[in-house]
């Protein structure tokens, strides 16, 4: 007796721009489409459906999108129009009408809070004459309807716990494209974290546009802070490491700062954007904190966890920024000392307060200021990496390195690490000695020493291993 023929599998290609939350969203879009028979492929040429998951934070986001759509139009026409073309993410949220006007061959336009509706939208697109558009903000509904089963992410997994932002910084589009702050219930986060660990995750990074503003309902009916959630997650059997990103200085409360000293699994690395070292510019940015406030937070974090390393964001040339303001930023960078950081020229985002502000800084001046900021940050990153030379550290190995016989991983401070070894080490947290440093990575030698894998990265363990 012959078995019934299986329906041909459909092929899905997702291109992602922007932050790690967009990467997470892209993975969940693939998850919700899997029951329809869609399986991921590596190139759009092989796909029956293409999703462009966009980010509005990066410069020239719209231009990049329309350039990509121009390339995909010919491919869609070559399939007789059968290929489904979708635009998702923050650019879709902000510019849905323009997308359908300039690219009428796009089938689906969906904002970041609507991707749980993709199966329905695909069905509607097959019947509709024009584009199917979903750009509302049903945040709670999205998380309620996401499938529990998801594709394994590997030794390092990402988990969205919070979306949106209520801060309304002058330069930022997130409140307009992601909506108001919303925190997932703690029980849902814990359940997803356990599933990720069961799939092989050893490290989980909690994601949110303003992740330390987390205020999800706990199983006990009480609102949980991020510190409380981290303490609960740290007890999951098999989970070795925790991180969270991205944070706002205004939400670094006492409990969260204390958590850095009390939770061994919480890695000694924090990305905490400050944007400027000038109080005048910080006020224009509507950041809600002064440079001195940021410095006090840094001091308290280092008191709680002496080996903590910091990363940050800086904007050069915000409208109204003077040379004196720029120098204040350089002084703050020198005073703090960052392990790494991201820096950008100010780029206007339509609809944001800064875009309509007077006194825009000339492009050449923004370039000069950015180069000075980046040179200082680059020197600090090189110095931080060099300070790891000879140190015994815990490394979470994630898979093959760039060269044969090499395995790659991450240090407690998020630095890429490579060592001699095989791919079978992926998922293991092992003691290593740093034998060489590079501007962006470390080279290490794996040590055969007893080391608490479940809680590697804990400073007392590292000191004991090094003794």
| Sequence-distant (≥ 6) Cβ neighbours of residue 371 within 8 angstroms | none
Contact assessment for residue 178 and residue 90, using Cβ atoms and an 8 Å cutoff = yes
Beta strands in 322-401 (DSSP E): 340-345, 392-400
Which element (helix H / strand E) includes 194?
helix 186-198
DSSP state of 457: T
Both tokens assigned to 75: 């491919």
Rounded distance between C-alpha atoms, residue 147 and residue 145, angstroms: 6
Output the CA torsion sign for 385, 22, 369, 312.
negative
Which element (helix H / strand E) includes 451?
none
Query: Rounded to 10 degrees, what is the CA torsion of 137, 140, 145, 147?
Result: 110
**Per-residue exposure over 361-372, b if at least 16 CB sit within 10 Å of its own CB, e if not:** beeeebebbbeb
What strand order describes the sheet that includes 108-110? 38-40, 10-16, 49-54, 84-89, 108-110, 132-134
Q: Count CB neighbours of 41 within 10 A.
A: 18
Is 19 annotated in a binding site? The answer is yes
Which element (helix H / strand E) includes 362?
none
Which element (helix H / strand E) includes 327?
helix 323-336
Quickly tell me which residue has 């959630």 as its tokens.
229
What is the CA angle 111-114-120, rounded to 5?
Answer: 125
Is 432 annotated in a binding site? The answer is no
Rounded distance between C-alpha atoms, residue 348 and residue 359, angstroms: 13
- String of DSSP letters for 206-260: EE-TTGGG--EEPTTSSEEPHHHHHHHHTTSTT--EEEEE---GGG--HHHHHHH
What strand order describes the sheet that includes 309-316? 269-271, 309-316, 340-345
**Across-strand partners of 53?**
16, 88
Radius of gyration from C-alpha coordinates of the chain: 23
Residues annotated in a binding site: 19, 55, 90, 165, 169, 172
What residues are designated binding site for [4Fe-4S] cluster? 19, 55, 90, 165, 169, 172
């Amino acid at each position: 007796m012959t078995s019934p023929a299986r329906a041909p599998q459909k092929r899905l290609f997702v291109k992602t721009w922007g932050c790690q939350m967009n990467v997470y969203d892209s993975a969940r879009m693939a998850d919700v489409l899997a029951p329809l028979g869609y399986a991921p492929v590596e190139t759009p040429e092989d796909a029956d459906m293409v999703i462009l998951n966009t980010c509005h934070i990066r410069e020239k986001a719209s231009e990049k999108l329309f350039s990509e759509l121009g390339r995909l139009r010919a491919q869609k026409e070559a399939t007789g129009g059968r290929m489904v073309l979708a635009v998702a993410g923050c650019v879709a949220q902000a510019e849905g009408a323009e997308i359908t006007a300039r690219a009428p061959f796009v089938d689906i336009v969906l904002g970041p809070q609507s991707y749980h509706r993709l199966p329905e939208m695909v069905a509607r697109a097959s019947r509709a004459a024009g584009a199917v558009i979903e750009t509302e903000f049903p945040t709670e509904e999205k998380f309620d309807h996401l499938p529990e089963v998801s594709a394994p992410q590997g030794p390092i997994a990402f988990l969205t716990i919070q979306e949106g932002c209520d801060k309304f910084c002058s330069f930022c589009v997130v409140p307009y494209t992601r909506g108001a702050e919303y925190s997932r219930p703690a029980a849902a986060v814990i359940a997803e974290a356990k599933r990720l660990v069961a799939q092989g995750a050893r490290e989980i990074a909690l994601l949110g546009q303003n992740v330390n503003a987390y205020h999800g309902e706990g199983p006990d009916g009480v609102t949980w802070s991020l510190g409380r959630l981290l303490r609960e997650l740290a007890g999951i059997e098999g989970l070795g490491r925790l991180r969270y990103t991205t944070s706002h200085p205004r939400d670094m409360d006492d409990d969260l700062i204390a958590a850095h000293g009390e939770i061994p699994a919480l890695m000694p690395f924090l990305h905490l954007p400050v944007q400027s070292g000038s109080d005048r510019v910080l006020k224009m940015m509507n950041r809600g904190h002064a440079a001195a406030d940021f410095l006090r937070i840094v001091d308290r974090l280092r008191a709680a966890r002496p080996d903590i390393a910091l990363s940050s964001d800086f904007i050069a040339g915000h409208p109204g920024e003077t040379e004196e303001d720029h120098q204040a930023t350089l002084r703050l960078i020198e005073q703090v000392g960052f392990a790494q950081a991201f820096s950008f020229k100010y780029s206007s985002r339509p609809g944001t307060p800064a875009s309509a502000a007077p006194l825009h800084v000339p492009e050449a001046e923004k370039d000069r200021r950015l180069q000075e900021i980046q040179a200082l940050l680059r020197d600090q990153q090189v110095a931080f990496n060099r300070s790891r030379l000879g140190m015994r550290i815990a490394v979470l190995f994630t898979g093959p390195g760039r060269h044969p016989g090499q395995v790659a991983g991450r240090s407690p401070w998020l630095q890429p690490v490579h060592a001699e070894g095989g791919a079978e080490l992926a998922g293991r947290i092992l003691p290593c000695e740093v034998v060489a440093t590079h501007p962006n990575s470390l080279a290490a030698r794996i040590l055969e020493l007893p080391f608490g894998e479940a809680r590697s990265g804990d400073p007392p363990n590292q000191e004991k291993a090094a003794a």
